[in-house]
Amino acid sequence: MASDMASDTGSDTASGTKPPTTSARPVRPTGSLSAWEGMARQYDYWLTVLKRTWRGGVVSSFLTPLLYVVAMGVLLGGFIEGDPDRLEGASSYLAFVVPGLVASHAMTIAVSESTYPVMGSIKWHKTFFAQLATPLAVRDLVNAYVAFVMFRVASACAVFMLVIAPFGVFATWWGPILAWLSQVLVGFAFTTLVFSYSARLKSEEGFGLLFRLGVIPLTLFSGAFFPISNLGPVLEWVARLTPLWHGVSLSRMFCVDRIDWALAALNVTVLVTLTVVGWFLAVRNLDRRLEV
């Protein structure tokens, strides 16, 4: 059963490994997997998760947002005058609201996939503990997790954009592609940040707080449904500080083809920065949480 091995009991010089050092954590321990290999080894696991959850995903990812489009965009939007100057360049309210809706939808999926399921992997299913007994490291767990959530976000947003395309809400054919990439960026930022929050959380109550004080206000006041200029100068600036607004701003300017490249660069920088910071926090928090 056991294969023969080169090294044996403790004697470090004989086994040819490095001399004894006291346990300072190295940046890359020997035997660490490349980021790609670390994720590839979890592919089969996440495939089973997808097989188990895709039905519910279809409803919440595709059906619910389409209902929103019909209700808000078509029915409610019918009452709203389509003046491009008051709608950030959009030709109709539907064309205005769709890019915002999809961006906020990206956030919603990212948040819901990074809250209870993260706690479940720690507390209820112990998935993370089992995984850490193998060559996988905390970093690998975070990467694969984020990759899975991003698959959900990216596919949901893509389908959404494709379905809505025939309704003539997009100004160019290439704008929506950039808009889709912006929505993916929104997903990345929220997945990593919320993951880092969930990794620290001891009880589910914290999620209620996150939804009530985070997700709902952001959805309503980040410019998805109305121009933030309607908020008045002070609140408008508050809205500009929220991560979702940067995503809505990108998504919309690409869809309606009124692009301010300097602003776009700022929006992208903010979202990428949040993603990077979120990723480091996620790895650090999960590492602390799982340490025994």
3-state secondary structure string, 6-19? CCCCCCHHHHCCCC
Q: What are phi and psi of 17, to 5 degrees?
A: -85, 175
Question: How big is the site for other proteins, counted in residues (CB under 8 A)?
Answer: 50
Among the listed ranges 125-133, 161-169, 206-214, 237-245, the one in contact with other proteins (CB under 8 A) is 125-133
11 part of the interface to other proteins, by CB under 8 A: yes
203 part of the interface to other proteins, by CB under 8 A: no
Among the listed ranges 14-22, 170-178, 201-209, 243-251, the one in contact with other proteins (CB under 8 A) is 14-22
55 part of the interface to other proteins, by CB under 8 A: no
Contact 157, 185 (CB under 8 A): no
Contact 110, 190 (CB under 8 A): yes
132 part of the interface to other proteins, by CB under 8 A: yes
Dihedral angle over CA of 97, 103, 108, 111, nearest 10: -160
204 part of the interface to other proteins, by CB under 8 A: no
CA distance 31 to 140: 13
Contact 248, 162 (CB under 8 A): no
133 part of the interface to other proteins, by CB under 8 A: yes
Selected binder of other proteins within 18, 81, 166, 173 (CB under 8 A): 18
135 part of the interface to other proteins, by CB under 8 A: yes
Cα angle value 188/56/35 (rounded, 5°): 35
CB burial of residue 186 (10 Å; 0-12, 13-18, 19+): buried
Q: What is the full DSSP assignment across 235-258?
A: HHHHHHHSHHHHHHHHHHHHHHT-
Q: How far is the CB of 108 from other proteins (least distance, A)?
A: 23
CA distance 11 to 21: 13
233 part of the interface to other proteins, by CB under 8 A: no
Q: How far is the CB of 139 from other proteins (least distance, A)?
A: 11
Among the listed ranges 55-63, 83-91, 126-134, 151-159, the one in contact with other proteins (CB under 8 A) is 126-134
Q: How far is the CB of 119 from other proteins (least distance, A)?
A: 14
Among the listed ranges 47-55, 150-158, 238-246, 277-285, the one in contact with other proteins (CB under 8 A) is 47-55
Helix or strand (DSSP H, E) at 145: helix 138-164
| Tokens 């993951």 sit on residue | 195
Among the listed ranges 38-46, 104-112, 182-190, 196-204, the one in contact with other proteins (CB under 8 A) is 38-46
- Binding track over 136-175 against other proteins, x by CB under 8 A: xx--------------------------------------
CA distance 58 to 37: 29
Contact 66, 226 (CB under 8 A): no
56 part of the interface to other proteins, by CB under 8 A: no
Selected binder of other proteins within 35, 50, 71, 124 (CB under 8 A): 124
- The footprint of other proteins (CB under 8 A) covers 1-3, 5, 7-12, 14-15, 17-18, 20-26, 29-33, 37, 41-45, 48-49, 52, 124-127, 129-137, 291-292
